[in-house]
Chains A and B, each alone.
Chain A
Amino acid sequence: MAVVQTIRAIGHRIVDTVWRIGVAARFFFLTLLYSGNCLRRFHLVIKELFSTGVMSLIIIIVAGLFVGMVLGLQGYETLKRYGSESALGVMVALGLVRELGPVMAALLFASRAGSAMTAEIGLMKATEQISAMEMMAVNPIARIVAPRFWAGVISMPLLAALFSAVGIFGGYLVGVVQIGVDEGSFWSQMQAAVDFREDILNGVIKSVVFGTVVTVIALFEGFDAPPTAEGVSGATTRTVVTSSLAILMLDFVLTAIMFRGA
C-alpha cells in the first residue's frame, strides 16, 4: 500500500507544480494587462524603485568590488603560467559583462529585494489588506503588483551594469595597482576584445530577463502565500530557492543561444 501512496504523492506534486506554473503565467499576463495605470501614475513605480533598486545599491557595489578583485587575483595566477598577464583585463571584463555581472546581481537581487517583496505582499494578504482593497474596488494587481514588477524590471539591468563596472574597477585595483600588470595593455586588450553588441548588450538583455523572472516569482509567491505566519515564511524561502535556480538555468539557456559559435 505504501508504494501506491508514494506514487500518488509524486503524481500529486507534479500536477500541483504544473497547476502553479499555469496560475503564475496567468498572474504574469494580468500584471502586464493592468500595468497601464501604474505607468501613468509613475510615482508609484518610483517609490518601489527606491526600496528595490536604491536599497540594493550597497550590497551590489560591495559584492561587485570583491568579485572583481578575486577575478583579478585568480586570473593573474593562471595567466602568469602562460606569460599572458596582459590579457587579465580581457578575462575580468568578459567574465563580468557576459556572466558574473547579470547572474550575481540577479542572485543578490533575489535574496535582497525578492524576498522582501514576497514577505510584504504575503503579510498584506495575511492581514487582509488585499481583500480590503478589493472591497473598495481597487484592483490589487494594478495597485500593488504592477509597480513592484516594473521597478524590478527597470532596476535589474542598472544594478547589473553597476556590478560589472565596479567589478572591472576591482580587477584593475588588484591587477594593475597591486600586482603591477601593465596598465596600457590591461585597458587596450580589454577594449579590443569586448564588443558592444555581442558582449555588453547581450549582458543587458540577460539582466532584463532575470529581472522579469525574479520579480514575477517573488510577487507570485507573495500573492499565492497561505495567509498564515508559516505560509509567509515558506513563500519567502520558495522565492529565494526558485528564483536562484531559475536564474542559473536560464543563464545556461541564454548563454547557449547568445554566444554559440562566437
Chain B
Amino acid sequence: MERTTLDLWVGMFVVAGIGALVMLAMKVGNLGTYNVSDTYQVHAYFSNIGGLKPKASIRSAGVLVGRVTSISLDTERYEANVVMNVDKRYQFPKDTFANILTSGLLGEQYIGLVPGGETEMIKDGDLLKQTQSAMVLEDLIGKFMYSKAAEPAKEGAK
C-alpha cells in the first residue's frame, strides 16, 4: 500500500491522542499508583463511621498503606462493616487498633491503624476487633452543651 505524508500526520495525531489518554490514566488518574500492588483484605466493625467513604485512605503513622473498598451495615450487629485493602508490603500485628480520624478540622475522614504489641500478624480476611468510631461534631457539641448546662445546677446545690 502506498504511504503518503497524510498518513504520517494522521498517525502522529492518533499517537498524540492516545498518548494523552495514557498520560491522563497514569499520571492524573489512580491507575498507575495503587491498583497494581498486591493487597490483602481486612475488615472491622464501627458503631459510627461519620463521613467515611469508599476509597478513603488507610494510614499508619501518617503513611498511606491502603484504601477502604466497601462500607455496609451489618444488620445482625447494627454496626458498619468496613472492608479495607492493605498493601502486602505492610504487615500489622493481630491486635492492631483501627480509628476513624479526620485530616484537619473539617477535612476528609480516613482510617488510622495503630499497631499493637502481639507477635502474630494479621492474615487476609481477618477482623480488626479494636475500633474507635468517628468523632461526630454534633455529638461533641451536644456533650459540651450538656455539661455546661449541668454546671450551674451543681453550684446551686451547694
Give bound CA distance, A164 to B27, whole Å. 12
Q: Which of B10, B23, B30 contacts A53 (CB 8 A)?
A: B10
B73 at the interface (CB under 8 A from A): no
Once the chains are docked, how many angstroms separate the CA of A200 from the CA of B20?
Answer: 11
Query: When each residue 1-44 of chain B gets 1 if its CB lies under 8 Å from chain A and 0 otherwise, what string results?
Result: 00000110110111011101101110111111100000000000
> Could you tell me if A161 and B29 are in contact, using CB atoms closer than 8 angstroms?
no
Asked whether, in the complex, the Cβ of B55 is within 8 Å of the Cβ of A195, the reply is yes
- A164 close to B29 (CB less than 8 A): no
Q: Is A114's CB within 8 Å of the partner chain B?
A: no
**Distance to closest chain B CB from A43 (angstroms):** 8
Q: Which of A30-38, A138-146, A151-159, A227-235 contacts B (4 or more CB under 8 A)?
A: A151-159
Residue on A nearest B56 in the bound complex, by CB: A192
Quick one: given A192-B30, A196-B25, A196-B30, are A161 and B20 in contact (CB under 8 Å)? yes
Q: How many residues of A contact B (CB 8 A)?
A: 29
The B interface, classified by DSSP as helix, strand, loop or mixed, is: helix
Pairwise interchain contact A158-B30, C-beta atoms closer than 8 A: no
The reply on B81 being an interface residue by CB < 8 A is no
Alpha-carbon separation in the docked complex, A162 to B23 (Å)? 10
A-B contact count (CB 8 A): 79
Interface string of A76-97 (1 = CB under 8 A from B): 0000000000000000010001
Judged by a CB distance under 8 angstroms, whether A116 is at the interface is: no
Query: CB-CB < 8 A to B24: which residues of A?
Result: 97, 161, 164-165, 168, 200
Known: A157-B17, A158-B14. A93 touches B28 (CB 8 A): yes
A217 close to B (CB within 8 Å): no
- A54 close to B29 (CB less than 8 A): no
- On chain B, the residues within 8 Å of A166 by CB distance are 20
B28 and A190 form a contact (CB under 8 A): yes
B152 to chain A, nearest CB (A): 37
Chain B residues near A159 (CB, 8 Å)? 17
CB closest chain-A residue, reference B21: A161
Q: For chain B residues 82-112, which have a beta carbon within 8 Å of chain A?
A: none
Q: How far is the CB of A165 from chain B (nearest CB, A)?
A: 4
Q: B-contacting residues of A (Cβ < 8 Å)?
A: 46-47, 49-50, 53-54, 57, 93, 97, 155, 157-159, 161-162, 164-166, 168, 187, 190-192, 194-196, 199-200, 204
Known: A46-B6, A158-B20, A158-B21. 20 other contacts (CB 8 A): A46-B7, A46-B10, A49-B10, A50-B13, A54-B9, A57-B13, A97-B28, A157-B17, A157-B21, A161-B20, A164-B20, A191-B27, A191-B28, A192-B30, A194-B29, A195-B29, A195-B55, A200-B21, A200-B29, A204-B21
- Please list 15 pairs of residues, one from A and one from B, whose beta carbons are closer than 8 Å in the complex, sorted by A's number: A50-B6, A53-B10, A53-B13, A54-B13, A57-B13, A155-B17, A158-B18, A159-B17, A166-B20, A191-B32, A194-B28, A194-B29, A195-B29, A196-B30, A199-B29
Which 8 residue pairs spanning A and B have beta carbons closest together?
A: A158-B17, A165-B20, A161-B20, A196-B29, A196-B31, A161-B21, A162-B20, A54-B13
